[in-house]
Chains A and B, each alone.
Chain A
Amino acid sequence: MGTSMRSTFEERRSVGDLLTMFLSFFKIGAFTIGGGYAMLPLMEQEFVQNRKWVDPVEIVDVFAVAQSLPGVIAINASIYIGYKVDRIRGALVAALGVILPSFLVILCIAAVLLRFQENLWVQKAFAGVRAGVTALILLAGIKLGKAILKNYLAWGIGIGAFFLLVIVRIQAVVVILASALVGLGTYIWQQRRKQLREKDNP
């Protein structure tokens, strides 16, 4: 078990390799605009195709896990890739590299924004942008909804979550836990029914 597990990981990397990895993640963090999803194809290109540090089969797992776990998807993927490359050290370097650019950019923007917040033209521009972004989020939601809401149960959970959140005003964390429980419950029930059916008609 111990050896088979170790064999899927590379040996310890040199400091030069770690620096290269840091710069790669920094570059990806600095040049993908508009959210974390856009980073995943760039990570694939850099670490699978260019550097060959992660193999093409593994990267599928990386992205699946990144999207299944809670947290920021791009950070999840970076930590996973970094961990594959050089365990905890690699994971730390990767996370730092991918986070740092947006961290620095937002610090600069925050300093400027706070100074101009009272300006009427800035307020008008932002009011316009909030309205436009409402449309962008709606479109992103519709696209994702088409991919995920494929049966009555999924529709029920989606509408139920919306109802609890917006109408009943229940905390988002509780809504997530409730969706998880409903999903788990029905999944177990379906599996049990399938097993019984197989037992009845072998």
Chain B
Amino acid sequence: MIYLELFGVFLKIGLFGFGGGYAMVPLLEGEIASHGWLPVREFADIVAISQMTPGPIMVNAATYIGYRVAGVLGSAVATFGVSLPSFILVVLVAHSIRMFKESLAVQGTLSGIRPGTIGLIAGAVVFFARMSMLHQPELPIFRGSIGLDWVGLPGITVVLPAVGIFLAILIGSRTFGLKPIPAVILSAVLGIVFL
């Protein structure tokens, strides 16, 4: 049953998603690919939209994917699933906050999970780079796409203008203090003009 499937997957995300929205991207990417719910590129789009809409990235993703797969009830089920572990765990910890803070097991576990989430965020960067700078089969071929068969990578096509947009936003944010919302708007405009 699709509702149960959605609930189960998002429960898992809620239970294992440490370190914020970006670190949760690889978890959900794998689930979407294996369930074949929608092209993973569409999931990347919804994370991108989340830069400009209110709320946590994973709630946005749960709502969108739930809706896309099983309508409004699906989106409610997915969002409920991703929040349920939080509910149980936070209430348990609130009752034993001192034990939690002083627990060596908790400190030790977190000392491993925290750097692990940096690896996951790096994984999210690779996922987004793939979704934007490499040609996606379900999309039309954009201007400036170059096949890489001549360097021994058959079947891989790089979208050069997308690489340019990536660099422009990287430098704009890093050097000129471009804020996320203007950065997203600028990337959309650059995409329309150059792709």
Binding site for B on A (CB under 8 A): 5, 29-37, 39, 61, 64-76, 79-80, 83-84, 88, 91, 95, 98-99, 101-103, 105-107, 109-110, 113-114, 117, 120-121, 123-141, 144-145, 148-149, 153-166, 171-173, 175-188, 191
Contacts and interface: CB of A to CB of B under 8 A. Distances in A.
A91 B12 CA distance: 21
Given A76-B86, A137-B125, 20 more contacts: A72-B17, A72-B82, A91-B90, A91-B91, A95-B86, A102-B54, A107-B72, A130-B45, A131-B162, A132-B186, A132-B190, A133-B128, A135-B173, A148-B114, A158-B119, A165-B123, A175-B26, A183-B111, A184-B109, A191-B104
A173 B27 contact: yes
A69 B14 CA distance: 10
Interface string B166-195: 111110011000001101101111111011
Given A103-B59, A107-B67, A139-B174, A129 B75 contact: no
Interface string B40-74: 01101111111111111111100110011000100
Interface of B: 12, 14-22, 25-27, 29-30, 41-42, 44-60, 63-64, 67-68, 72, 75-76, 79, 82-83, 85-87, 89-91, 93-95, 97, 100-101, 104-126, 128-129, 131-133, 139-140, 142, 159, 162-163, 165-170, 173-174, 180-181, 183-184, 186-192, 194-195
B102 to A, nearest CB: 12
B195 A128 contact: yes
A33 B53 contact: yes
B64 A5 contact: no
Given A137-B121, A145-B118, A158-B118, A129 B184 contact: yes
Nearest to B76: A103
B79 A99 contact: yes
Nearest to B93: A65
Given A32-B55, A124-B191, A126-B191, A131 B63 contact: no
B101 to A, nearest CB: 7
Contacts of B191: 124-129, 131
Contact of A133 (B16, B51, B76, B97): B51
Contacts of A163: 119
Contacts of A176: 16, 18, 113, 116-117, 120
Nearest to B187: A132
A23 to B, nearest CB: 15
Nearest to A183: B112
Contacts of A135: 166-167, 169-170, 173, 183
Given A103-B79, A183-B110, A125 B188 contact: yes
B140 A128 contact: no
Listed from nearest, the 6 A-B pairs whose CB atoms lie closest are A183-B112, A128-B191, A102-B55, A179-B116, A132-B187, A161-B119
B85 to A, nearest CB: 6
B89 A69 contact: yes
B118 A148 contact: yes
A35 B75 contact: no
A16 B156 CA distance: 60
Contacts of A166: 122-123, 126
Contacts of B117: 144, 148, 161, 176, 179
B93 A36 contact: no
A34 B108 CA distance: 31
